[in-house]
A and B are shown apart, each in its own frame.
Chain A
């Protein structure tokens, strides 16, 4: 439900990281964990609207969903959490040690870069 404020954070983060190259950004790629409470498809629409008339207008938002994984405190194996049962399938011990699924990060930016020759063609 808070996709607009998340989207503003994306734009702020990108502006801070690539202040001189905003117009060259073509793709902003996110990793969105299943536990992050964010709808990435909706986020894409919001991003489109919020960047329609600024320097980021030639960029798109893409994402990959990450599954929930936790580490068993007994056998130390990473296991996939299904149906939100945070219990190791081997040891049958509950675990709060979430290793994946919480993330909401920008993990990749694709820039269109020009060589000196291309700029001066």
Chain B
């Protein structure tokens, strides 16, 4: 404790403390993580700008993986049930989280939503975050893998413009690549910039509309699910 100048009637004293302002969120995120561990569910958090193709990616991923794994989706949006409706049409459980204006999902919102969705036999749970490349970066949702989508119509300069997001992400998905011939977007440049921000980022290049690159993405998901299960069974045996 340090004594400061006596300006006021009393004595001003500085108290050194260390209170992490995201601690409450991170604690709930850890609860979700261990819950998912017990249920053997692979949890992914999808983030991106609005309109980069998160819901379309999910629709196509569900179509391709439906026979192999059971998928469920939590949809975050400011308003409407539209995205959850689109996912339900694919025959998988989906729950809409309407944030009512909040620009990101917080762990508490996921924690409250989980009991409302049937997770029996679910293998992979996707969280589609609110479309926003800024705020969701700061909020751990308990996910195993964070996936950032960047569509080639957005421009290849995003990793350097929104470094926090690319820094905290595991996977970068370059989407809408069927439009590459028509837009000035360099996959090489975006990959280089992303790797400068985050050395361990892994990149997939795909078009959910035309299907290019989708099988590599789906293989990756299956492989991650198997890895998690293997790790879990080893832990259980110990």
Contacts and interface: CB of A to CB of B under 8 A. Distances in A.
Interface of A: 1-2, 5-6, 9-10, 12-13, 17, 24, 26, 30, 35-38, 83-87, 94-96, 98, 103-115, 118
B20 A104 contact: yes
A116 to B, nearest CB: 12
Contact of A17 (B10, B17, B20): B17
Contact of A109 (B15, B104, B164): B15
Contact of B24 (A9, A30, A35, A111): A9
Contact of B18 (A9, A105, A114): A105
Interface of B: 4, 8-22, 24, 102-104, 106, 132, 134-135, 137-138, 160, 163-164, 167, 195-200
Interface of B is mostly: mixed
A115 B11 contact: yes
Nearest to B139: A2
B19 A106 contact: yes
Contacts of A96: 167, 198-200
Contacts of B167: 35, 84, 86, 96, 98
Given A1-B135, A17-B19, A115-B10, 12 more contacts: A1-B132, A5-B106, A35-B164, A98-B167, A108-B17, A109-B14, A110-B14, A112-B9, A113-B13, A114-B9, A115-B11, A118-B9
What is the interface of chain A mostly: helix, strand, loop, or mixed?
Answer: mixed
B196 to A, nearest CB: 5
B197 A84 contact: yes
A2 B104 contact: yes
A74 B199 CA distance: 14
A109 B160 CA distance: 35
Contacts of B21: 6, 9-10, 13, 30, 104-106
B189 to A, nearest CB: 14
Contacts of B20: 103-105
A13 B19 contact: yes
A24 B15 CA distance: 12
Contact of B199 (A9, A83, A95, A118): A95
Given A13-B21, A111-B13, A2 B196 contact: no
B10 A112 contact: yes
13 contacts: A1-B135, A9-B22, A10-B21, A17-B19, A36-B164, A84-B167, A86-B196, A86-B197, A104-B138, A105-B18, A109-B14, A113-B11, A114-B11
